[in-house]
């Protein structure tokens, strides 16, 4: 490739590596329109001038990528870029080193591999004396001679049988310590089309007492108290990670330490969680720098909590002293007195009242292997106590006759599974599912499309039930959500939806999902039905009162009257206060442990 006269020039920083070590660094100037032959020629000339006899095997850019040989240099490199050339030397000898000399009677070593053609000149004055005669005088003297020796090209014409008899070459020594292969610190990002559905699942609560394969958080912080660990992960910032880099020249991992030296951060070790079917040895720990301001904030929160616990302890201690004063006056522990416990009663939080109010938000499941998706965002979070009661009642009513079932919730928008696989409705599994439902917490949003994909990853799943208010999606995103659900549901599995106090757009989205996927839509409202609701209700129906509502009102009236006249024995109240005081003391000890752990981490 001939270069034009007005072509621009490139300045390239060449770094030559021989046996994984940098042996030369120099600068060459080439034209942009020249080919790879120009780079090879100039680099070889500089190497020969420096006395290094080697052959260029590979040329790589600064990202260690192998460059093509049929492109212009201006299309591959930029001005001032670093170029790595990998050399292969002649047994590691430099050009200024002289090859060993042998006498005429000494046997020369046998060549084990063909040599490249080379031309070298050796200038050596040789003065050798002839044998002495009987009188001690030399008969003749050889004059100095300057010899120009040219080594011919070696052609191996030996037979194949003779080649097999030759001794094999010694194996090349490996680098120690070995260079890293495919180990990148921190979480890895996978493309959507390259990962299978089951590989991204994270198990939340398995029924069997087995070790979890994944967790709710992507990072694991060791040697910290649980509350401090949760606080750090909730305020996680990827910019505060210091990743170690491998330096081949020293064979070690090194990282920046300016955050530690400035005194405003505290460094801890964090390592990525391992997903299902992943290699735990491929994850490397990284340094995460916690700002000291966040540690002080955590300490202030713990101190406020300690003050509240101390206030509660004082109130309970005062009630206990009053009860013991009654015993000191001569009353028996079995005597009934007015309740002196400093507690407030919430009648509507009882399980019975919740079960009465919840009016079957889940329809009858017709499949044998259903998956229930619970989106605890929006209106579902406001009425979560009633949704929990309704789901537990449907769990014992509908799931007992199924072959297997699965539950899905959301955390930080991503779905979390209840168990590793579809579980049979045994007594132990139903109890574990009920405990899992009790731990449901409100979340900001839920990715319904990802949850449906998780559910369909189970091959025996034949029905999906979604409980949501669809408040996380804007009206402009509905068409995209419907298209994604249809593209995921290639097996045409029935998807039923239950809307809990949805707005008009959310109700339309849930109806469209169920209608386009062979399912049914159910609307649930926990508010008074009247004019002005999103769904239109006739006037005659709005005046109708459910028998369940009347039953709840009657029960509430009875409970309020019983609370006014409630009495309890002195001994029972003393025992309750003793248990509560023991729990407060335990809470104070844990809070003090959190504060001490935070103090140790922030010197």
Each residue's pLDDT tens digit, 508-534: 899 999 988 888 888 877 664 433 444
Structure-block tokens of residue 36: 């790879």
Task: Give the pairing of strands 265-272 and 219-221.
Answer: antiparallel
* Average confidence (pLDDT) over 168-188: 56
Domain 348-552 in CATH 3.40.50.410? The answer is yes
Residue 425 CA to residue 431 CA, distance in Å, equals 10
Whether 282 and 183 have beta carbons less than 8 Å apart is answered as: yes
Element (H, E) at 513: helix 504-515
Collapsing DSSP to helix, strand or coil, 44 comes out as helix
Q: Measure the CA–CA gap between 543 and 501, rounded to whole angstroms.
A: 19
Please say whether the beta carbons of 472 and 377 come within 8 A. yes
Confidence of residue 236 (pLDDT cuts 50, 70, 90): confident
The encoded tokens of residue 300 equal 């202030």
Does residue 492 come out as left (phi exceeding 0), alpha (psi in the -120 to 50 range) or beta?
Answer: left
Distance, in Å, from the CA atom of 500 to the CA atom of 521, rounded to the nearest integer, reads 11
Q: Domain locations in the chain?
A: 9-89, 197-294, 297-329+570-601, 348-552
DSSP one-letter string for 259-318: HHHHSSEEEEEEEEPP-TT--GGG---EEEEEEHHHHHHHHHHHHHHHHHHHHHHHHHHH
| Listed residue (48, 56, 53) closest to 15, CA to CA | 56
- Rounded mean pLDDT of 501-508? 88
Strand partners, 17: 22, 86
Instruction: Please compute the mean of the pLDDT values over residues 465-470 and round it to a whole number.
Output: 90
The average pLDDT across 270-279 equals 62
CA distance 545 to 549: 7
Whose tokens are 């996927």? That residue is: 517
Q: How confident is the model at residue 466 (pLDDT cuts 50, 70, 90)?
A: very high
Q: How confident is the model at residue 374 (pLDDT cuts 50, 70, 90)?
A: very high
Average pLDDT, the chain: 72
Nearest to 520 by CA among 499, 491, 501, 541: 499
- Strands 370-374 and 463-468 come out as parallel
Paired tokens of 322: 């009053």
Residue 6 backbone class (left: φ over 0; alpha: ψ -120 to 50; beta: rest): alpha
- DSSP of 330-354: T--TT-EEE--------GGGSHHHH
DSSP label at 198? Answer: G
Please report, for residues 99, 150, 333, the alpha-carbon distance to residue 147 in angstroms, rounded to integers and kept in the order given. 16, 10, 123
Residue 600 has pLDDT above 80, yes or no: no
Q: Is the pLDDT of residue 598 over 80?
A: no
* Omega cis (within 30) before 63: no
pLDDT of res. 133: 46
Confidence of residue 408 (pLDDT cuts 50, 70, 90): very high
pLDDT at 4 exceeding the cut of 50:
no
CA distances for 10 relative to 3, 17, 25, 30, 192, angstroms: 13, 21, 16, 5, 40
Top mean-pLDDT range of 254-268, 292-306, 544-558: 292-306
Mention every residue, 6+ apart, whose C-beta is less than 8 A from residue 404: 368, 369, 422, 423, 424, 425, 460
Taking CA atoms, 95 is separated from 15, 21, 442, in Å, by: 19, 18, 74
Portion of the chain with pLDDT greater than 90, in percent: 5
pLDDT tens-digit series, residues 50-83: 877 788 888 888 888 888 888 888 888 888 889 9
| Token output for 22 | 């940098």
Q: Cα separation of 402 and 425, whole Å?
A: 7
Domain 9-89: give its CATH code: 3.10.20.90
DSSP 188: -
Show the DSSP H helices in 383-447 as ranges: 384-398, 427-438
pLDDT value at 159 more than 60: no
Position 146 scores a pLDDT of 54
How confident is the model over 315-363, as pLDDT tens digits? 889 989 989 898 998 888 888 888 788 876 554 444 544 555 445 556 6
Name the pLDDT band for 259 (thresholds 50, 70, 90): confident
The better pLDDT of the pair 257, 241 is held by 241
The rounded distance, in Å, linking the Cα atoms of 481 and 448 is: 8
Q: Pick from 316, 336, 317: which is nearest to 326 by CA?
A: 336
Q: How far apart are CA 504 and CA 350, in angstroms?
A: 32
- Give the model's confidence band at 103: pLDDT under 50 very low, under 70 low, under 90 confident, else very high: very low
Q: What is the pLDDT of residue 191?
A: 55
Q: In Å, how far from its chain's centre is CA 562? A: 54
Rounded CA-CA distance 420/437 in Å is 16
φ, ψ at 23 (rounded to 5°): -110, -15
What is the rounded average pLDDT of the residues 378-383? 86
**How many beta carbons lie within 10 A of that of residue 119, not counting itself?**
9
Q: What is the pLDDT of residue 373?
A: 92
Confidence (pLDDT) at 7: 66
- What is the model's pTM? 0.38
What CA–CA distance (Å, rounded) separates 451 from 376?
13
Given the DSSP bridges, would you call strands 265-272 and 286-291 parallel, antiparallel or unpaired? antiparallel
Q: Mean pLDDT lowest for which of 156-165, 513-522, 588-597?
A: 156-165
């Amino acid at each position: 490739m001939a270069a034009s006269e007005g072509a621009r020039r490139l300045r390239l920083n060449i770094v030559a590596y021989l046996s994984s070590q940098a042996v030369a660094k120099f600068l060459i100037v080439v034209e942009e329109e020249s080919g790879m032959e120009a780079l090879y020629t100039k680099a070889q000339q500089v190497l020969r001038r420096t006395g290094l006899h080697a052959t260029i095997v590979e040329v790589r850019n600064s990202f260690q990528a192998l460059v093509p040989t049929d492109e212009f240099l201006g299309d591959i490199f930029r001005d001032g870029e670093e170029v790595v050339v990998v050399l292969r030397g002649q047994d590691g000898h430099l050009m200024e080193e002289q090859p060993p000399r042998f006498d005429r009677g000494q046997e020369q070593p046998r060549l084990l591999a063909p040599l490249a053609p080379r031309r070298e000149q050796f200038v050596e004055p040789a003065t050798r004396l002839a044998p002495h005669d009987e009188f001690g005088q030399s008969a003749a003297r050889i004059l100095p001679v300057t010899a120009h020796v040219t080594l011919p090209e070696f052609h191996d014409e030996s037979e194949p049988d003779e080649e097999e008899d030759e001794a094999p070459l010694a194996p090349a020594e490996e680098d120690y310590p070995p260079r890293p292969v495919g180990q990148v610190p921190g979480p890895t990002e996978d493309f959507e089309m390259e990962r299978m559905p089951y590989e991204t699942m994270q198990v939340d609560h398995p029924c069997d007492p087995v070790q979890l394969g994944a967790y709710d958080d992507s990072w694991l912080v060791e040697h910290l108290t649980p509350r401090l660990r949760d606080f750090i992960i909730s305020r996680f910032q990827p910019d505060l990670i210091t990743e170690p880099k491998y330096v081949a020249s020293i064979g070690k991992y090194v990282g920046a330490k300016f955050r530690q030296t400035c005194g405003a951060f505290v460094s801890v070790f964090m390592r990525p969680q391992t997903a299902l079917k992943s290699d735990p040895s491929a994850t490397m720990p990284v340094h995460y720098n916690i700002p000291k301001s966040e540690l002080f904030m955590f300490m202030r929160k713990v101190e406020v909590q300690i003050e509240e616990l101390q206030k509660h302890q004082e109130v309970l201690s005062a009630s206990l002293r009053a009860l013991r004063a009654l015993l000191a006056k001569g009353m028996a522990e079995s005597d009934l007195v007015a309740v002196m416990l400093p507690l407030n009663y919430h009648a509507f939080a009882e399980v019975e009242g919740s079960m009465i109010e919840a009016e079957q938000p889940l329809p009858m499941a017709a499949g044998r292997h259903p998956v229930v998706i619970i989106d605890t965002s929006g209106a579902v979070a406001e009425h979560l106590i009633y949704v929990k009661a309704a789901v537990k009642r449907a769990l014992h009513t509908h799931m007992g006759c199924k072959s297997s079932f699965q539950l899905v919730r959301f955390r930080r928008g991503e779905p979390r599974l209840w168990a590793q696989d579809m579980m049979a409705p045994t007594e132990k599994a139903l109890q574990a599912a009920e405990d899992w439902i009790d731990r449901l917490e409100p979340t900001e949003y839920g990715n319904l499309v990802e949850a449906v994909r998780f559910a369909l990853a189970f091959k025996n799943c034949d029905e999906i039930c979604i409980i949501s208010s669809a408040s996380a999606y804007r009206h402009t995103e509905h068409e995209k959500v419907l298209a994604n659900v249809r593209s995921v549901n290639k097996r045409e599995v029935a998807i039923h939806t239950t809307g809990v106090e949805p707005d008009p757009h959310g109700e339309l989205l849930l109806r469209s999902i169920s209608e386009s996927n062979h399912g049914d839509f159910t609307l649930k409202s926990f508010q008074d039905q009247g004019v002005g609701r999103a769904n239109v209700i006739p006037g005659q129906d709005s005046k109708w009162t459910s028998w369940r509502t009347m039953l709840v009102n009657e029960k509430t009236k009875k409970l309020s009257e019983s609370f006014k006249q409630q009495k309890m024995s002195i001994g029972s109240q003393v025992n309750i206060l003793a248990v509560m005081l023991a729990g407060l003391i335990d809470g104070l000890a844990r809070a003090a442990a959190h504060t001490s752990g935070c103090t140790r981490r922030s010197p």
